Structure 1
Amino acid sequence: MPDAQAPSPFAGVILAGGRGTRAGLDTAKQYARWGGSTVLGLAVARMREAVTGPVIIVIPAGDEDAARAAVGNHPQIDFVIGGATRQLSALAGLERLASHLPAQVLIHDAARPDLPRAVVGRLADALIRHSGAVPVLPVADSLLTVNGDIAGAGVEREGLRRVQTPQAFRFSEILHAHRIWPTEPTAGDDATVLQAAGFDVALVAGDPRLRKLTFRTDFARNQMIDKPPLRTAFRIGSGYDVHRLVPGDGVWLCGIRIPHHRSLSGHSDADVALHALTDAVLGAIAAGDIGEHFPPSDPQWKGASSDHFFTHAMQLARIAGYAIANLDVTIICEEPKIGAHRQNMRNRLAELSGGDLRTISVKATTTERLGFTGRAEGIAAQASVLLHRIDDKEIR
């Protein structure tokens, strides 16, 4: 639901000139279905609810019909063709607004379709004292520099922030800054352009709702929402996975790191048990497999924690209207020994799945020295899950 706060006296520029190829969709991502509309349609609707001035939508050449169909009917909107770079597209939108002479402007990415009005209010307050303002979020993960696949020095995250849009500006100053921006280098965002012209930029608290839709997995949750609800009382899924053992210092199994003289090889952390469980949950709700949601060809998943894969599958299950009735995973290996870690694994799986510990089973077996697991060349896991239907009012 849109926020109840009153609209702010901004004009708006929505940048929708990209193609979003990293999303791997059959259409440009701004025209993909989202929230009962399209990505662009929702971005425009939220902008129109949040501001009182005109809104300019910057689109690629030749996309006029597609953009108008994606947006629908809204008052005070206009379209303009973007340039070869983000900065030139923003300038095109600002130039179209120049005849309206707004005092303030929001420049927003269409790929962030949800726009909380509380963020717009904070930006407006900041412009009382500053020429520009941007919403930011803290950095939660540890950071380091890299040299190829080799870790470099750590980076202090306390002095870093994640930058979002919309970014807010005094109109005359951001228009001037864009007009004098040189052809090179490419500007990462509009705040950079403003700062280069000698103006100050304030930081305000952002919002997780402003997350950017970039990869195919970002659209998976919405795809589940758009499907008709499943009405069967129970759903069953199974999963199986294998990873090779290589020299190392530990293996990840069921979200727990076990010290060992070898590691599991994979694009992510290669947690074979969580991979099997992820496939089991996805199979139960007929949502494909782990490779479809997290392709190993995608560099963003290199070294990623498999916790993310499993919790993603559980979120899709809940959206579809299901929760864990019970899950059972069997780890097949000669080494390391699992028994001492079994309880920690069950605890972790209960935490990740939201299931009752009494419904979580972790077992281990060997193949009596037969096959690749018997030769300790790798570890396999097989998993089964039973999902039960939950009340519609419980689904969030």
Structure 2
Amino acid sequence: MSVAALIVAAGRGSRAGEGIPKQYRELRGMPVLSRTLPAFLAHPGISHTVVVIHPDDRALYEDSVAVVPSPGPKLLRCARGGQTRQDSVRSGLEALAGLEPEYVLVHDAARPFAGRDLIDRAIAAAARWGAAVPGTPVTDTIKVIGDQSEVLATPDRSRLRAVQTPQAFRFSLLLDAHRRAASAGLHTFTDDGALTEWAGLPVHVFDGDTGNIKLTHASDFQEAERRLKGETMAYVTRLGTGFDVHAFGDGDHVWLGGIRVPHDRGVLAHSDGDVILHALTDAILGALADGDIGTHFPPSDPQWRGASSDQFLAHAVELVAKRGGIVDHLDTTLLCEKPRLGPHREAMRQRIAEIAGLRLDQVSLKATTTEKLGFTGRAEGIAAQAAATIRLPEVSA
């Protein structure tokens, strides 16, 4: 049977931090894409491989292919990516259509650890079912939440799977589903299994590989580097706490968690007065035993007057990375009578996760009043307390 591989490499990878797209960043001296391709090019069951790239990345792509050992005739001319991942996959499928492969495996370029066994299972699953995705058991309890962060349901995790790539399909089936979705004006599917489900076709799950990680955040790159070195890094866990408070003053908004929140007061502060981001910054610095926010950004320095506090938190996270560490979790409690946190909680969590390069489930945000007691109870100011859990490489005495 004829099997083609489609490698999706057109994304921007913004969650991995600033710089070139993550699929072209180096891992142990080679671009990520250069480490992803060989498993597919060397597999005897795959006849052709096409990579879908962003139009601006041609030089980066060519540099990556140049260091792939013996790419050979299996590697076809790259295809031009689209505005969304779905558009990019369809572009790759159209590029393969003239070859009429029987099956196709769709794989993310940012998963450089897909091994031969996983590819074997993907090909077998495509032949057996026509549409199949690799999945691994979910070990955490999952909650379905509502608009106010209330728990709506707790699914049985024995029936849940975390889905990976390569996803495997009968070629004609997947191409038809993509064409139908495009004709319907749908362009936002981020998973080919989900698009195939939308098309009304059954999708099956085969065994994935827990080592088949996707490089999404900066910490994923650090872990991948250690894995390629064959090292098992010993870490020590550290906990830091932070607290910040600002008095209310004239104004019509406050900054909280990186979000501008309308309010009938402003805050008196040298920077933008974001107590949540300030407390989180101090918590990380505390875990590092590296002073406090005033040490790194002294209020006597005029350059920080009115400064956006996202740069303070980003700086603290960068210090962890420079020490070879990983930020595991950030937790904050806001103390105030007003404004209400609820309507803005998820936007704040998302913004904090973006600044720190974390997943959303690594950011917790809560609020409480002080039962009308103290300066917060009298609505004279606002405060936040935070905790940060990090891991640092263990240093021998």
Q: TM-score range by the shorter chain?
A: 0.5 to 0.7
Partner residue of 2:47?
53
Do the aligned partners of 2:241 and 2:287 also contact (CA within 8 Å) in 1? no
Query: In the alignment, does 2:205 pair up with 1:206?
Result: no
Task: Call closer, same or farther: CA 1:10–1:33 in 2, change over 3 Å.
Answer: same
Paired amino acid for 1:297: I
Partner residue of 1:41?
34
Query: In the alignment, does 2:5 pair up with 1:15?
Result: no
How far apart in 1 are the matches of 2:7 and 2:211? 17
How far apart in 1 are the matches of 2:14 and 2:225? 18
Query: In the alignment, does 2:386 pair up with 1:388?
Result: no
For structure 1, the 5+ residue unaligned runs are 1-7, 230-236, 247-264, 307-376, 390-396
Task: Map 1:30-109 to 2 at 5 A.
Answer: 30-50=23-43, 51-72=45-66, 73=68, 74-75=71-72, 76-78=74-76, 79-109=78-108
Task: Map 1:140-155 to 2 at 5 A.
Answer: 140-147=139-146, 150-155=149-154
How far apart in 2 are the matches of 1:180 and 1:194? 10
Aligned length: 283
Do the aligned partners of 2:86 and 2:187 also contact (CA within 8 Å) in 1? no
Paired amino acid for 1:16: A
The percent of aligned pairs where both chains have the same amino acid is: 31
Query: In the alignment, does 2:190 pair up with 1:194?
Result: no
Task: Call closer, same or farther: CA 1:193–1:379 in 2, change over 3 Å.
Answer: closer
- The Cα offsets for residues 147-167 of structure 1, whole Å up to 9 and x where unpaired, read as 467342342143322111100
Superposition deviation, residue 62 in structure 1: 2.5
Superposition deviation, residue 49 in structure 1: 2.3
How far apart in 2 are the matches of 1:199 and 1:379? 47
Cα RMSD (Å) of the superposition? 4.3
Task: Call closer, same or farther: CA 1:131–1:380 in 2, change over 3 Å.
Answer: closer
Task: Call closer, same or farther: CA 1:243–1:48 in 2, change over 3 Å.
Answer: same
How far apart in 1 are the matches of 2:393 and 2:88? 49
For structure 2, the 5+ residue unaligned runs are 246-274, 291-317, 331-348, 365-383
Task: Call closer, same or farther: CA 1:279–1:164 in 2, change over 3 Å.
Answer: farther
Q: Secondary structure at the match of 2:127?
A: coil
Do the aligned partners of 2:53 and 2:61 also contact (CA within 8 Å) in 1? yes
Q: Secondary structure at the match of 1:179?
A: helix
Partner residue of 1:165?
165
Q: Secondary structure at the match of 1:141?
A: coil
Paired amino acid for 1:199: L
Query: In the alignment, does 2:302 pair up with 1:287?
Result: no
Do the aligned partners of 2:288 and 2:320 also contact (CA within 8 Å) in 1? no
TM-score by structure 1 length? 0.59
How far apart in 1 are the matches of 2:386 and 2:216? 33
Q: Secondary structure at the match of 1:210?
A: coil
Superposition deviation, residue 241 in structure 1: 4.1
TM-score by structure 2 length? 0.59
Partner residue of 2:338?
none
Superposition deviation, residue 80 in structure 1: 0.8
Q: Which moved more, 1:11-20 or 1:95-104?
A: 95-104
Query: In the alignment, does 2:161 pair up with 1:125?
Result: no
Do the aligned partners of 1:284 and 1:385 also contact (CA within 8 Å) in 2? no
Partner residue of 1:137?
136
- The Cα offsets for residues 4-43 of structure 1, whole Å up to 9 and x where unpaired, read as xxxx952110000111011113111010012542111111
How far apart in 2 are the matches of 1:210 and 1:112? 6
Paired amino acid for 2:353: D
